[in-house]
Structure 1
């Protein structure tokens, strides 16, 4: 009777193979793939390399991929079981590496200009002053897929030691490093089995990952990258299934900079998620635990000569059309960029393909996808269209926020001639009637929908409509921050039915009362009583939350009916949201995020379901946070939700807008596919 041979793969590798339906195929065709000794071809390969990547654990058990360099010949193989390496992990003390005799180690030899790579895993046999040796436990080759061709050359002699006094680990990535990682086309990943025993299948691995620039995405402290089609052995994925601790190494061969990361990995099996990335069969996330950034560390430099042909059918995280199922985006060109005030700039855009603009109602907003410089990531934002419809261009106006990523990109990076991806205009903050007096009450950047509505009324008057009085009341700090000041003065001179009132809270010395502004201070109840007309009129409110709540209270004190007050917040606030009580929402509900396998208890203090998901460490998509755009819509399979206000966007049956939804009264459990 023939004795059954033990598998060459450890239990978690076999579990992944079985899950993906390839276990039988792998068992049939992988015999002899993993050897206990190195073939001569591999031995010759290693001894001619100028670099190795080795995987070594720190004292907390996290594996780190460490680059080692030397002139060809710094690696020797005295026999088929041994590699002798005349190099030393100079970052040993900084990373607190458990670099000791008999410890497990993973080795990857890679030749970038030929795309050849081979691996050897084993144990450390001896450690000397500047060298160490490794006894082979597993030896196997790898295919050349996804390796970018580079020609390397030396810039200095290999480093024998490193001054580490000023080097320290951090637990977050800087924005600069995150952007650089997102532009990378290559990194290396170290992984491990949970058990590190004498079983040769247990140990450390180090593997190469390559993609088009932009194949890695960084969101806060988490990295995401695709798992492309490979040899189906799933060494790295099997290790992650066994033990989530991993390490990443991002080299920049042009500058010599490196980024080293340790963290915990998770395999995202969801097919719906992989559809957003062409060629991805799975997505891997890595939550950063520690990172080390070193400039000019590498003793070699190199230039990219060719991306891997295997990348033809792979994508990046960049395509905005695949980022929001709720919208279709098309490319627009910026034809004009005008500074309106100290902090506000207007952008005039038209379709790149020359097609006609979609019509819209004054007051609506424009969904925009903005590419982050030097990365493949995009930000989805919504900006109010700040002029009435014209045939040749859209105009939207943006305030530069000190900590606002998208606004800083638009102000500081985007210029005339550049392009953006833009979707159809949306929103329900629009004029209700042109047959009565309208009051536009705004502060700061809240002026944008108001001037669009005013222009819309002017267009109707120019078409023959009877003009109705408009009271345009705007508050800002001073003439420096007064957006559209000259435009409004010009319109005020042309139209007698337009009553313009400007309030400066902090006028400058050269701001003249009666010329630049009408009142100093803030919009108070007494001021509104002096300014506002009597009779039947509608009020439109837009500005900061504090301004909105104060103005709303003042209008109510004047006995103006709620039905005559229309408003738009710039976040998920509402006048009703602070009045939500036990008769409208649940007092307690269990929320199950199915795709993330997270269950937690929601209470009213947790806010909207989007805010709650973010507290749980999740990153659902969103844009407006007001229920107007639909970006946050996700499947709800159990339970019911309620909204403080009727959303402007109507989700399909079985979905909810989590940016403004809360568990409904009598709902005890909700299941979201997040």
Structure 2
């Protein structure tokens, strides 16, 4: 059954939105529509950038979402040796693989079928989503036409290392069920990872129509098994696109895939979903913003067929808090060292630190990723966190975590890092987006090349300006660094020329005045609407996409 939706208020932006009516309705309901639309228009593309094409080429598997002959959604894995996915141009992928015998989608990946793909590298937690259509299919060869492509954040992904194995036909089996067996219930109850398929097709043509494959993760037990036909899946905070939730609001048909990483077995579920927007049950799932209630209608279990196996999750790195420093009214830095002075893995400026926290009343560890705000070569790791009034994790860090406490972490990761070269560097941020920028600045002033650096930061006023003294001091000690602070609402105690340089917001006119001919590699970090405006203005003035690097908070 499809829900009748009221169109969202018309956007002031011209052209086609990257979101369909269901996604727009959810964004409007949750108050993020005006913020996310301009940002998504910059990063949701009708093609694959070269870095995404290269990413797919190196993968040993890809997550695939499609519908069977009856229109029922399913999600599965397509696997092969790295290189089984190729890309001859930015709008297509070639996939030399087929589903396993007995797979719910066997015989369904045909020319004209809508297909949602998720490229995910569990070891590094990188992922990229691309939706489109199968333009040709012959044997084990699919040609895929790109509709939309965009990257995803690494949050909630459990890191695992993958290896290939040989699988004999006699070791494979496929079974169909209507209800969960006890083995399935244990499987789901211990899962830290699942993949979810959803989709929506309205009347006419729209780039957001089609199938979508996505990842969900959490500590073991994050999916609740209500009984042998019902599951509860918490929906945590994410990128605010609401692709999955928006699909399900418009078309409640849904599919889940659970992978047994040790045996290479797959558990495929298909059914219908209902969204719980805020009942008392939501509060019982720590960190959940809402719940997806799933009624299972069909089940396919594929045992031992996948030619891949994954090792145990990456071991934790115990860190001890050695210092807390208040950087502004709402931002505090947390400095960690290895427990018992253990050596810590190196990192690159701009990367993030995944951490796990044991929070009171949470039934499982809570995972978050925070940009590192110190630089390689500094002692330990420093993260800097804004206290959010409704944020249970940020409030725990600010109010409860004490010097001497130990938290678990994984090694630093992320691709928002400085590129090598001699071109000037522009570090442009707003709000808490300053955290990776201060790390980059600290690294750049130590470079022997002494590249010109433009450090431009926007804040409300001096009370909310984290690292003001640290950044200004680095600029004063290094004549290759130009510092510029922009306050949107200066306080009476803020002095222009001393505490800040310009009143208003960072815009293209300011950047043109600061950066000759806009000749720089631009690194941007901050809220989505801030990034969208800067990216659009830089692009309009001829700055090439490979010189614009972004991270959104």
**Structure 1 length normalisation: TM-score?**
0.44
Once the two structures are superposed, what CA deviation does each residue of 1:614-640 show, in whole Å capped at 9, x if it has no partner? xxxxxxxxxxxxxxxxxxxxxxxxxxx
CA contact (8 A) 2:23 2:246 kept: yes
Does residue 277 of structure 2 align to residue 269 of structure 1? yes
Task: Tell me how far apart the structure 2 counterparts of residues 289 and 81 of structure 1 sit (CA, whole Å).
Answer: 35
Does residue 110 of structure 2 align to residue 100 of structure 1? yes
Task: Tell me how far apart the structure 2 counterparts of residues 22 and 99 of structure 1 sit (CA, whole Å).
Answer: 35
Match of 1:229 in 2: 237
Match of 1:305 in 2: 314
Once the two structures are superposed, what CA deviation does each residue of 1:426-461 show, in whole Å capped at 9, x if it has no partner? xxxxxxxxxxxxxxxxxxxxxxxxxxxxxxxxxxxx
> Could you tell me which of 115, 118, 121 is aligned with 1:111?
121
Once the two structures are superposed, what CA deviation does each residue of 1:247-269 show, in whole Å capped at 9, x if it has no partner? 11100111222211001011111
Does residue 151 of structure 2 align to residue 141 of structure 1? yes
Q: Which SS does the other structure have where 1:32 is aligned? A: helix
Q: Which SS does the other structure have where 1:191 is aligned? A: strand
Q: Which SS does the other structure have where 2:161 is aligned? A: strand
Q: Which SS does the other structure have where 2:160 is aligned? A: strand
Shift of 1:129: 1.5
Match of 2:188 in 1: 181
Task: Tell me how far apart the structure 2 counterparts of residues 3 and 280 of structure 1 sit (CA, whole Å).
Answer: 32
CA contact (8 A) 2:214 2:244 kept: yes
Match of 1:485 in 2: none
Shift of 1:31: 2.1
Following superposition of structure 1 onto structure 2, how do residues 464-613 of structure 1 map, counting pairs within 5 Å? none
Match of 2:221 in 1: 214
Task: Tell me how far apart the structure 2 counterparts of residues 196 and 91 of structure 1 sit (CA, whole Å).
Answer: 34
Match of 2:161 in 1: 151
Match of 1:90 in 2: 100
Match of 1:39 in 2: 49
Once the two structures are superposed, what CA deviation does each residue of 1:395-430 show, in whole Å capped at 9, x if it has no partner? xxxxxxxxxxxxxxxxxxxxxxxxxxxxxxxxxxxx
Does residue 167 of structure 2 align to residue 122 of structure 1? no
Q: Which SS does the other structure have where 1:30 is aligned? A: helix
Task: Tell me how far apart the structure 1 counterparts of residues 360 and 91 of structure 2 sit (CA, whole Å).
Answer: 40
Distance 1:89 1:14, change over 3 A: same
Distance 1:275 1:311, change over 3 A: farther
Does residue 212 of structure 2 align to residue 205 of structure 1? yes
Match of 2:16 in 1: 6
Match of 2:286 in 1: 278
Match of 1:65 in 2: 75
Task: Tell me how far apart the structure 1 counterparts of residues 361 and 196 of structure 2 sit (CA, whole Å).
Answer: 19
> Could you tell me which of 189, 202, 222 is aligned with 1:195?
202
Task: Tell me how far apart the structure 2 counterparts of residues 52 and 74 of structure 1 sit (CA, whole Å).
Answer: 10
Farther off after superposition, 60-69 or 233-242: 60-69
Shift of 1:298: 1.9
Shift of 1:92: 6.5
> Could you tell me which of 243, 250, 273 is aligned with 1:242?
250
Once the two structures are superposed, what CA deviation does each residue of 1:475-498 show, in whole Å capped at 9, x if it has no partner? xxxxxxxxxxxxxxxxxxxxxxxx
Task: Tell me how far apart the structure 2 counterparts of residues 192 and 135 of structure 1 sit (CA, whole Å).
Answer: 17
Aligned residue pairs, count: 315
Shift of 1:95: 4.5
Does residue 258 of structure 2 align to residue 258 of structure 1? no
Once the two structures are superposed, what CA deviation does each residue of 1:28-52 show, in whole Å capped at 9, x if it has no partner? 3222221001100000000000110
Name which one, 1 or 2, has greater alpha-carbon Rg.
1
Shift of 1:271: 4.6
Task: Tell me how far apart the structure 2 counterparts of residues 71 and 293 of structure 1 sit (CA, whole Å).
Answer: 24
Q: Which SS does the other structure have where 1:190 is aligned? A: strand
Once the two structures are superposed, what CA deviation does each residue of 1:638-674 show, in whole Å capped at 9, x if it has no partner? xxxxxxxxxxxxxxxxxxxxxxxxxxxxxxxxxxxxx
CA contact (8 A) 1:280 1:314 kept: no
Match of 1:462 in 2: none
Q: Which structure carries more relative contact order (alpha carbon 8 Å, separation 6+)?
A: 2
Shift of 1:168: 3.5
CA contact (8 A) 1:262 1:288 kept: yes
Task: Tell me how far apart the structure 2 counterparts of residues 97 and 83 of structure 1 sit (CA, whole Å).
Answer: 20
Gaps of 5+ in 2: 1-11, 317-352, 365-553
CA contact (8 A) 2:286 2:363 kept: no
Task: Tell me how far apart the structure 2 counterparts of residues 260 and 181 of structure 1 sit (CA, whole Å).
Answer: 11
Q: Which SS does the other structure have where 2:186 is aligned? A: helix
Shift of 1:316: 9.9
Shift of 1:176: 1.7
**Structure 2 length normalisation: TM-score?**
0.54
Q: Which SS does the other structure have where 2:41 is aligned? A: coil
